[in-house]
Structure 1
């Protein structure tokens, strides 16, 4: 017991606690992707269990590369795939997972051959510098919308929520508690604010512990191997699949790369290794009946202790995800009133905003424009791949227009041309 207490108070124990705090806010993403899949005809329990299991496996795999990086479902891509490709364009789930398997296989080949590394290396340094701002702003905006602190407006872009709404009130209260504890120098400010918000929400009756909060994972046979049924749908869907495949390929690479760079983990780790890991995991996800996974932005909660001890951080995150894996009823209850989860997401976004390092005074017009485009598009669209593609295209166009062609490599020009074509393809398809 004394040994455990000593370990818990050590730097490794702090990293493990950071991992647990990373896993808890991921509840919302796990539940949302399972709900989107169920609306398209998938089996909710199976998708939820697969998402949690793959997240745990991916987090442990990244720790082998000394990366304090959690893996989570890509909600933006899941929304595209289920609501637009399956529901709107008529693809069957078998065709969808066959498409994902083929694209993930090509992504694996590109990653192992080094092609993927060359593609992402075309992202200019100025854009890499503002990635934390783009991702941080996206987290803050998404968290405030989920907590109903911001609402859609018919006149303005957004408007403040009604703080008589219990969810908005408790979400703001949780954020104030975390920031207040942080200002007082409390080391576990996030955990303390989360526990206090959870207790207040529970006392007020806004969420309850379900009568059966845990159950054994079930229905995996209704998800795994769906790609084998790709031939059961309409043959005309092949045209849609062929059109969307290049964009999915680029989105798989750019979304993960952009988030990984923004989170600032493993700066001295070669790009090739993390890309290979995430591509293999996404191929496994497609074969098992799950949408693509990517770097979870909640990984910003890892902090210095998590980055210094990635193995302990991964163990803590995997333990939290393993707990959630068999707690789907409890997870759905927490996601229905996410007052304890929203402040963690916003706090993670604020941590990323504090990491911003971009020399606005020393940047030229092309660099400033690309930075602004990225910082505007990512928070408004929640789409890292689209933001990176348009930002690189704007950078190359303005550099060439200004006659500074020496700053634009051949790979960067090809990337920009491909980005423009794929943006047009996305606007037509999505």
Structure 2
């Protein structure tokens, strides 16, 4: 079968040139993850080269599977939402070894894979009220931005008020502020790959000011590092990391579903308000997460940046193959990526701006309905303040269920949500004992 026929070029009114341009556009808008993901995860003690390699391999597998078998122009790579949770909450805050955290990622991905073959996945999605889904998304965005502000030294610890404004004369701070400004201006002017280009520009400026030293070699042969096959599944189970596994699963589920539906609608690929070939699309993400855990990275997710490729005319999985090929080329750029990742002014602006994008979810909450809005508000507020996505989601679910019960509307709550509430109550009680 000819490639044009396989990818349905005629049915989707596209051609090779359009798909190639779309693939390049998508890659440029999400290329920041190549630097940002190893930068975040290496703070846990994970080997930078290993995470760099895992990031690219997981992205390549996800993009190829999504492109070839699902035929969608939806790129996949490690998620910033879950890598921040993995690094700053699970490993750094909770003190769980990164090997066990990878084990939790592997189990979560395996569950996601199995549920993608059944209708239970849809039941879980339906059990969570839309207001809480939006609250979770916005809360993760605020959490990611908060981490970025800390890394940039814009927000620092304070013994009297917990946090305060940092020293604006600190080179890290003012260079990060400059990086934010550059990226925001590029985005406002609709420059393709604005985030990635912003990182490159601030890197060049930092180099001329002496804040970056070039490595001995810009390119080298890919290295596995020490993260390959290091996931500790037995450790994750024996240390009762079930709430962490649950959090990885829930965040990935919502992130994946929302992004896929949004991009499919944008591309005009929905049929009778349904998502054709959705099973293959979900399998692509779950397989990428499994591969990522094996090689050494946090869960993957479809990237909303794929919308830039769709806006450029991408309508088929062929554009995803282009994205995968470009990721493969980046395998040889680990030395320069490692240098850039160690400069907060390069990575912090991207974290802050990605968080900003996720905050748009707040506009879809009905703030006039307190029964729906208040639990979502708690989730959104508590994620950065408690430094825990799990605790925030748990408190939000418990609050939502209790409000519905005491308002006589308990029948409006999906039975699965009550099950989640009981699990979180047990977890919170166990922590206190």
- Pairing partner for 2:61 from 30, 37, 57: 57
The 5 Å alignment of 1:338-349 reads 338-349=344-355
Specify the alignment match of 1:250 in structure 2. Answer: 246
SS in 2 for 1:213: coil
* TM-fit CA distance, 1:205: 1.7
Is contact 1:148-1:168 (8 Å) kept?
yes
Specify the alignment match of 2:184 in structure 1. Answer: 179
Is contact 1:370-1:395 (8 Å) kept?
yes
1:82-127 CA deviation, whole Å, 9 max, x = no partner?
Answer: 5588xx67x795x776666556444433332333332232110211
* TM-fit CA distance, 1:411: 2.2
The 5 Å alignment of 1:255-270 reads 255-260=251-256, 263=259, 264-266=262-264, 269=275
1:295-331 CA deviation, whole Å, 9 max, x = no partner?
Answer: 27xx444444446637476456545543443333222
* TM-fit CA distance, 1:403: 0.9
Q: Judging changes above 3 Å, is the alpha-carbon distance between structure 1 residues 105 and 126 closer, same or farther for their aligned structure 2 residues?
A: closer
C-alpha distance in structure 1 between counterparts of 2:33 and 2:237, whole Å: 33
C-alpha distance in structure 2 between counterparts of 1:116 and 1:61, whole Å: 20
- Pairing partner for 2:328 from 302, 322, 331: 322
Q: Judging changes above 3 Å, is the alpha-carbon distance between structure 1 residues 251 and 192 closer, same or farther for their aligned structure 2 residues?
A: closer
C-alpha distance in structure 1 between counterparts of 2:34 and 2:428, whole Å: 29
C-alpha distance in structure 2 between counterparts of 1:196 and 1:44, whole Å: 23
SS in 1 for 2:364: coil
Q: Judging changes above 3 Å, is the alpha-carbon distance between structure 1 residues 151 and 244 closer, same or farther for their aligned structure 2 residues?
A: same
Specify the alignment match of 1:126 in structure 2. Answer: 131
The 5 Å alignment of 1:213-228 reads 213-219=218-224, 223-226=227-230
C-alpha distance in structure 1 between counterparts of 2:380 and 2:127, whole Å: 18
TM-score by length of 1: 0.77
Specify the alignment match of 1:394 in structure 2. Answer: 399
Work out the number of aligned pairs and report it: 401
Specify the alignment match of 1:234 in structure 2. Answer: none
Specify the alignment match of 1:68 in structure 2. Answer: 74
Specify the alignment match of 2:27 in structure 1. Answer: 19
1:141-182 CA deviation, whole Å, 9 max, x = no partner?
Answer: 222222222212222242222121112112111222233344
The answer to which of 392-401 and 24-33 deviates more is 24-33
Q: Judging changes above 3 Å, is the alpha-carbon distance between structure 1 residues 99 and 14 closer, same or farther for their aligned structure 2 residues?
A: closer
* TM-fit CA distance, 1:279: 3.2
Specify the alignment match of 2:10 in structure 1. Answer: none
Specify the alignment match of 1:77 in structure 2. Answer: 86
- Could you tell me which runs of 5 or more consecutive residues in structure 2 were left unpaired when the two chains were aligned: 1-14, 266-273
Q: Judging changes above 3 Å, is the alpha-carbon distance between structure 1 residues 352 and 247 closer, same or farther for their aligned structure 2 residues?
A: closer
The answer to whether the aligner puts 1:48 opposite 2:52 as a matched pair is: yes
* TM-fit CA distance, 1:256: 0.6
Specify the alignment match of 1:3 in structure 2. Answer: none
Is contact 2:215-2:339 (8 Å) kept?
yes
- Pairing partner for 1:28 from 18, 36, 43: 36
SS in 1 for 2:149: helix
TM-score by length of 2: 0.76
RMSD of equivalent CA atoms: 3.8
The 5 Å alignment of 1:93-242 reads 93=99, 101=106, 104-183=109-188, 189-190=194-195, 193-219=198-224, 223-226=227-230, 241-242=237-238
C-alpha distance in structure 1 between counterparts of 2:21 and 2:169, whole Å: 39
Is contact 2:394-2:421 (8 Å) kept?
yes
Q: Judging changes above 3 Å, is the alpha-carbon distance between structure 1 residues 196 and 11 closer, same or farther for their aligned structure 2 residues?
A: farther
C-alpha distance in structure 2 between counterparts of 1:110 and 1:195, whole Å: 40
Q: Judging changes above 3 Å, is the alpha-carbon distance between structure 1 residues 98 and 52 closer, same or farther for their aligned structure 2 residues?
A: same
Is contact 2:54-2:297 (8 Å) kept?
no
Specify the alignment match of 1:281 in structure 2. Answer: 288
